[in-house]
Chains A and B, each alone.
Chain A
Amino acid sequence: MTSTAIVAQRVRSTTLAQRHPRLLMGSLGVLAVLLSFYSLSVGATDVSMADVLKAIVGDTTDQAAQIVVQFQLPRVLLAWLVGIALAISGGVMQGVIRNPLAAPDVVGVTKGAGFAGMLLLLAIPGIPVAAVVPAAFVGGLVAAALVYLLAYRRGATPIRIALVGIAVSAAFEAGIRFLLVRNPLDVSAALIWLTGSLFGRSMSSVLEILPWVAVLVPLIIVWARKLDVLGLGDDLAAGLGEPVERTRRTLLLFAVALAAAAVAVSGTIGFIGLIAPHMARRVFGGRHLALLPAAGLFGVLLMLFADMLGRGIAPPLEIPAGLITAVVGGPYFLYLLVKTGR
C-alpha cells in the first residue's frame, strides 16, 4: 500500500468542507479580505470606507487617506503575515509533535524570543529599536534549538520535545521576570512589546517578516503530505520510507523560524498558533494540504479581529492585540480541552 492510501485511510474525510474544500477556503479568503478593508477604516478617528477606497487607488491627498496608507495599511498587512506565520507554525508543530496542544509557545520559541528582545530593550538602553527584531528572531531559534538538543536522546520523541519545551520556556520566563525587576523604569515599553501588539508598527516591520513568510510557507505547503505521513507514528512512517528524524527536524526548523519571525516583529501574541490549526482541523479535517492553508486563513482572521478590536474598543486607548487573542483564545482552548478529554 502506498503512503497516500494509508494516510487517506487514517484521515477521516466526511465533512462538507472536505468535499468542497476549495469553495470553503475561497470564502474564508474573501472574508479575510473584506475584514481587512473594514479594518482599515476602524480606529480612533473617523475614516470612512470611501476614504479607504480612495487611499487604495492611490489618492492620498486628504488626511483620512493618509492615515489609512501610513498607519492602518501596515498594521493590516502585518496582521496577515503574523497571523499566517503563527497559525501555520502551530499547525506544523501540532503535526510534528503529534499533540493537539502543541504551539510555538510550547517549543520555547515565544519565550526565547521574548527573553532576547527584553534583554536588548532593557539591559542595553541605547540600543536602536531596529536591533530588537533580529535579536528576538535569533533568541527564538536558539531556544528551539536548545529544546531540541535537550530533548534528544536517541532521537527526539514528540512528547519529550513538548515537555522539555515547557521547561525551557519556564526558564526563559524566569529570566524575563528577572530583567523586569532589575529595570523598573523602562518596563512599560518592554511590557507592551512582550504582550504582543501591532501598535506603532510600520512598513519596515512588514518587510522584516515578509521574506520568511514568502519563502517558508510555500516550502511547508509542499511538504504538507510528509506531515500526514509523520502523523501515522514513527514506526509506520519509517516503514513507508520516510526519514522520520530528518523530516521532523526540517519541518520543526521551518515552523520555528516562522514563529520566531512573527514574535520578533509583533511581540508574543499567544494562542493563535494553538487555536487557528484547531479551527482548521474541525472544518477541513486532518489532511495537512488543506489544513495548513486553512489554518493560515483562520490565523489571519483572528489577528485582524484582535488588532481591529484593540484599536476600536476604547479609543484613544490601544488594547494590545495579544490581550485580545488571549481572552478569545483562552476560553476556546479550555473548550478544546474538555472536548478532547473525552
Chain B
Amino acid sequence: MSYSATLVRRAAAVLALTVAAGALAACGNSASSTSPAAGAAPNADRAAAAPGVGPSVNLDECGKQTRTVKHDLGTTTITGNPTRVVALEYSFVDALVAVGMSPIGVADDNEPKRIIPALHEKVGPYKSVGLRATPNIQVITALKPDLIVADSGRHKAIYAQLSKIAPTIAYASLNGNYQQVLDSEMSTAIALNKCDQMKQRLTEHAKTMSDLKAEATPGESRKALFVRASEKGFTGFPPKAYTPGVLSAIGIGSALPDSGTDASVSLTLETLVSTKPDIMFIAPNDGPTLRDTWAKNQLWKQLPAVKNNATYDVDPNEWSRSRGLIASEVVAQEAVKLLYGK
C-alpha cells in the first residue's frame, strides 16, 4: 500500500541522510584537525559577514537553493524559502522576528504573554501548539509547516516525528548559552534562506552591544549575579549560562564561579553571602518568594549588592525564558539602564 511504500522510502532517505551526515562529520573533523591554517582565512571573512557567530555554523550554505543545515540532532536539507514556520521555543520566535518573519505556530505554553513585548508587536497571529515540553504534534501537522525549529534537548524524543511533518532543525535553547543562541539564530536564518538579513541584523546586534558596553563604566569591576527566585528556591546562573553571557558581553562579570556542567545552581543564603554579588538581577516568580523571607535577614542587608542599592527585579520572561538575539538586546539595554541610568 502507499503508506508502507512511503515508509520504506522515508526509511531509505533517513538512512542515506544518516550515512551522509556521518561522512560529513568525519570529513569535517579531518579537515579541521589536519589543516588548521586552511580554516583561518574564511574565518576572518566570516567575522565580517556574521559577527558573533561561532565557526560551527556553515555560512557557505547561504543563498543556495538547496541548503544543508547542520544542527544538534543531525543535518537537514531545506529547499526553497520556508514561509510556514513552527517555533517550539521562544528563542526561535526571536530568530524569525530578527529576519522580519513571523511564525505560524508557537509552543507558547498557552500563555501568549510569555512572548516578550519586543517580539510580540512583530509577531503576527499564530496558533499555539501547546506546552514547550509537549507540543501538540497533531496541531503542528495541521498547520502544514515547511520548517520546524525545535529544542535539541526537550524535543529530542519527538524529533523523528517532527521530521516526518516538515524539515526540522534543532538547537539548544533551554540549555543554550549566549553563543549557542547566536549561532542558532544564524543557522535558522540559513534554513530560512534569510542569510543577508540575519548578517545585517547580527552586525546591528554587535554594534548595539558594543554601544551598550561603551555606556557602561569603563573597567567595570562589579560582579553581577542573575537569579530566579521562587517560593522554595533561589536559583543562580553560573557564567556559562545564557543571561550571564549576555551581561558579560556588555562588560559585566559574573559573581558565581564557573561550576562545570551545571546549568544552574541552587543557592542558600549562606552560599549567596559567600558569593558576594555586587549587583543582583532577580527574576521573581509570581507570589511570595524566598527572597521576601531572606530580605528580613541582617546578612541579606550586608550583601554588597543590597548595601549599594544594586538589586533589581527583572522580568523572568525577558531575562530568562526568551533566549535570543532581540531578547539579549532587551536584557543588555535594561541592565545598562538599571545600572547606569542611561
A and B touch in the complex (CB under 8 A): yes
Residues of A at the B interface (CB closer than 8 Å) are 43-45, 58, 60, 63, 66-67, 69-72, 125, 129, 184-186, 188-189, 192-193, 197, 199-200, 202, 204, 311, 315-318
- 15 A-B contacts (beta carbon < 8 Å): A44-B130, A45-B141, A58-B2, A63-B142, A70-B141, A70-B161, A71-B161, A125-B153, A184-B235, A185-B263, A188-B133, A189-B154, A192-B134, A193-B157, A200-B158
Whether A71 pairs with B138 at a CB distance below 8 angstroms is yes
Residues of B at the A interface (CB closer than 8 Å) are 1-3, 110, 127-131, 133-139, 141-142, 144, 153-154, 156-158, 160-161, 164, 174-175, 235, 263-264, 266
Most buried by B among A184, A188, A316: A316
Closest CB-CB distance, A188 to chain B, in whole Å? 4
Q: Complex formed: what's the CA distance from A204 to B139 in Å? A: 21
CB neighbours of B161 from chain A (8 A): 70-71, 200, 202
With A192-B134, A317-B136 known as contacts, the answer to whether A63 contacts B158 (CB < 8 A) is no
CB neighbours of A311 from chain B (8 A): 138
Partner among B1, B139, B264 whose Cβ is within 8 Å of the Cβ of A184? B264
Most buried by A among B134, B158, B235: B134
Most buried by A among B1, B137, B175: B137
Closest CB-CB distance, A260 to chain B, in whole Å? 19
Closest CB-CB distance, A90 to chain B, in whole Å? 27
Partner among A60, A186, A192, A316 whose Cβ is within 8 Å of the Cβ of B175? A186
Closest CB-CB distance, B324 to chain A, in whole Å? 18
Whether B157 pairs with A189 at a CB distance below 8 angstroms is yes
Whether A200 pairs with B138 at a CB distance below 8 angstroms is no
Closest CB-CB distance, B283 to chain A, in whole Å? 15
Partner among B1, B136, B174, B264 whose Cβ is within 8 Å of the Cβ of A316? B136
Whether B1 pairs with A58 at a CB distance below 8 angstroms is yes
Closest CB-CB distance, A237 to chain B, in whole Å? 45
Closest CB-CB distance, B89 to chain A, in whole Å? 12
Closest CB-CB distance, A55 to chain B, in whole Å? 9
With A184-B264, A186-B175, A189-B153 known as contacts, the answer to whether A318 contacts B141 (CB < 8 A) is no
Closest CB-CB distance, B12 to chain A, in whole Å? 16
Q: Complex formed: what's the CA distance from A195 to B130 in Å? A: 18
Total number of residue pairs linking A and B with CB closer than 8 Å: 88
Nearest 3 pairs between A and B by C-beta? A316-B130, A200-B158, A316-B136
Q: Complex formed: what's the CA distance from A188 to B130 in Å? A: 14
Q: Complex formed: what's the CA distance from A311 to B138 in Å? A: 10
CB neighbours of A318 from chain B (8 A): 130-131, 134, 136
Q: Complex formed: what's the CA distance from A44 to B1 in Å? A: 28
CB neighbours of B129 from chain A (8 A): 316
With A200-B161, A202-B161 known as contacts, the answer to whether A315 contacts B156 (CB < 8 A) is no
Whether A71 pairs with B141 at a CB distance below 8 angstroms is yes
Please give 9 more A-B residue pairs, beta carbons under 8 A apart, in addition to A71-B138, A317-B136: A60-B3, A70-B141, A70-B161, A129-B157, A186-B153, A315-B130, A315-B136, A318-B130, A318-B136
CB neighbours of B2 from chain A (8 A): 58, 60
Partner among B110, B134, B164, B175 whose Cβ is within 8 Å of the Cβ of A70? B164
Q: Complex formed: what's the CA distance from A188 to B89 in Å? A: 14
Q: Complex formed: what's the CA distance from A29 to B43 in Å? A: 66
Question: Quick one: closest B residue to A55, CB to CB?
Answer: B3
CB neighbours of B128 from chain A (8 A): 316
Question: Quick one: closest B residue to A311, CB to CB?
Answer: B138
Q: Complex formed: what's the CA distance from A318 to B175 in Å? A: 23
Closest CB-CB distance, A318 to chain B, in whole Å? 5
CB neighbours of A188 from chain B (8 A): 133, 154
CB neighbours of A60 from chain B (8 A): 2-3
CB neighbours of B263 from chain A (8 A): 184-185
Question: Quick one: closest B residue to A61, CB to CB?
Answer: B2
Q: Complex formed: what's the CA distance from A193 to B1 in Å? A: 33
With A44-B138, A70-B141 known as contacts, the answer to whether A192 contacts B133 (CB < 8 A) is yes
Whether A317 pairs with B110 at a CB distance below 8 angstroms is yes
Closest CB-CB distance, A180 to chain B, in whole Å? 12
Whether A189 pairs with B141 at a CB distance below 8 angstroms is no
CB neighbours of B127 from chain A (8 A): 316
With A44-B139, A184-B263, A316-B128 known as contacts, the answer to whether A63 contacts B157 (CB < 8 A) is no
Q: Complex formed: what's the CA distance from A66 to B165 in Å? A: 10
CB neighbours of A129 from chain B (8 A): 156-157
CB neighbours of B160 from chain A (8 A): 202, 204
Question: Quick one: closest B residue to A182, CB to CB?
Answer: B262
CB neighbours of A197 from chain B (8 A): 134
Q: Complex formed: what's the CA distance from A108 to B142 in Å? A: 41
CB neighbours of A202 from chain B (8 A): 160-161
Whether B137 pairs with A45 at a CB distance below 8 angstroms is no
Question: Quick one: closest B residue to A315, CB to CB?
Answer: B136
